[in-house]
Structures are given as C-alpha cells and as structure tokens.
A and B are shown apart, each in its own frame.
Chain A
Amino acid sequence: QKEVEQNSGPLSVPEGAIASLNCTYSDRVSQSFFWYRQYSGKSPELIMSIYSNGDKEDGRFTAQLNKASQYVSLLIRDSQPSDSATYLCAVKVSTASKLTFGTGTRLQVTL
C-alpha cells in the first residue's frame, strides 16, 4: 500500500510566523508532488507543485523536496489567519496517474 504520511496537527503558529508542514511518502517512483489547501467543507485547492529536488518558491510559499529521503515540506512565511486550513500533501507517479493524498495537517494561525 503506497502511503503519504502527514502529522494531523493541529499546528498552531502566531500571525506573522513561519509555518512548516511536512510530508513523507513511501513510493520511491513518485514523480510529482503537490500541496493543496482545503478549507472546511470545501474542495482541495492547489497551492504548490514541485518535481525536482530542492526548493521552489511562490510568494509566501516555499515547497521543498528531497527524493532521497522521500520527504516533501511546505513553508508558509508571514502566516495570516486566512491561512488557517488543512494542508494536504499529494503525490503521483506519472503525469496522468492518480493523486495519492495524505490525511492533511490542520494549521491554525492565531492572532
């Protein structure tokens, strides 16, 4: 069974701080890695994708990938209350294959 593991949280950070979210995956042939944000009762919304080892930055978000360690992370700088949501890590093994999701980490940004 190919798994994607995340700490369910909640992860609580004060407004303006950096939130660090982590994810590990078991399938070594995974090629594409995604972070989705999901507000309660809503659908997943893609916020970051990463395919190569290293860092990828997009605004306040930075995704980090280490294929040797089978580890993906998401950093959110200058966290805002509106960032409070569940963050889902997802992986797939090829361009058109299914996404396998982790259980998600609930982030709470406190005032």
Chain B
Amino acid sequence: EPEVTQTPSHQVTQMGQEVILRCVPISNHLYFYWYRQILGQKVEFLVSFYNNEISEKSEIFDDQFSVERPDGSNFTLKIRSTKLEDSAMYFCASSDPGRTYGYTFGSGTRLTVV
C-alpha cells in the first residue's frame, strides 16, 4: 500500500523560529495538500499544490506560510516566525485526481511552539 511519508514526526521550536515540515507524497499522485489540526479541533485546509504552483489556499495560509516542491519527490511547508498558536498537527496529503477517491494522508508532524 503506497504511503505518504512525513518528517519529522514531532518538532519543538521556539517562538519566532522558522520550521520546515517535509512530506514525500505518493509517487504517481499529482495534487498535494497541507492540512492542520489544532488539538481538539477539526482538520483545516491550508493549501493545495499542483503543477508546481499553489492551486488553492485558505485564509489561514498567509505570508507566514510557504510551500515548495524542491525536487521530484519532496513537498515542504515552511512556517516563518512561528507563533504559539501554530502549535498543531500538520498533515500532508496527496491525490490522483483521475480517480474519484479521497486523499491519502501522511502520519503527521506534531509541531509544538514554546
């Protein structure tokens, strides 16, 4: 069963620091996504990425955030100048839009900002 791989599984960072969360989507998938889930809250969409550009983003995804596909396999989320309220689980997902099924989610990165 193909998997979406995320690293690290847990990251602790000081407020104001920059973090990069990494994801390796399923190899033949074309759409990539980042979601976040603050503890006890719902899963929230951040951004979708297709053909090396952002295809959709939420109001959460402001100038503090950026995404990149630096090579053929990795997909990264950068959070600049982290704030306490950025503490959350961050999930990467990928999908093949040619098939009508839901996304495959990675296991997540728990980001703790102290």
Contact = CB atoms under 8 A, between A and B. Distances in A.
A87 B50 CA distance: 28
Given A43-B107, A44-B91, A98 B56 contact: yes
A43 B45 CA distance: 14
Interface size class, chain A: 20 to 34
- Of A44, A49, A88, A100, the most chain B CB neighbours within 10 A belong to A44
Interface string A81-111: 0000000101000011111111110000000
A34 B101 CA distance: 8
A105 B4 CA distance: 25
Contact of A44 (B43, B48, B100, B101): B43
B112 interface: no
B75 interface: no
Interface of B: 31, 33, 35, 41-45, 48, 50, 55-56, 58, 89, 91, 95, 97-98, 100-108
Interface of A: 32, 34, 36, 41-46, 49, 51, 88, 90, 95-104
Q: Which 10 A-B pairs have the closest CB atoms?
A: A96-B97, A34-B102, A101-B43, A43-B105, A98-B45, A103-B42, A46-B102, A95-B97, A43-B108, A101-B42
29 contacts: A34-B102, A36-B102, A42-B108, A43-B91, A43-B105, A43-B107, A44-B43, A44-B91, A44-B105, A46-B103, A46-B104, A49-B100, A88-B42, A90-B43, A90-B102, A95-B97, A95-B100, A96-B31, A96-B48, A96-B50, A96-B55, A96-B95, A96-B97, A98-B45, A99-B33, A99-B35, A99-B43, A99-B45, A102-B42
Given A43-B106, A99-B33, 4 more contacts: A42-B108, A46-B102, A51-B100, A99-B45
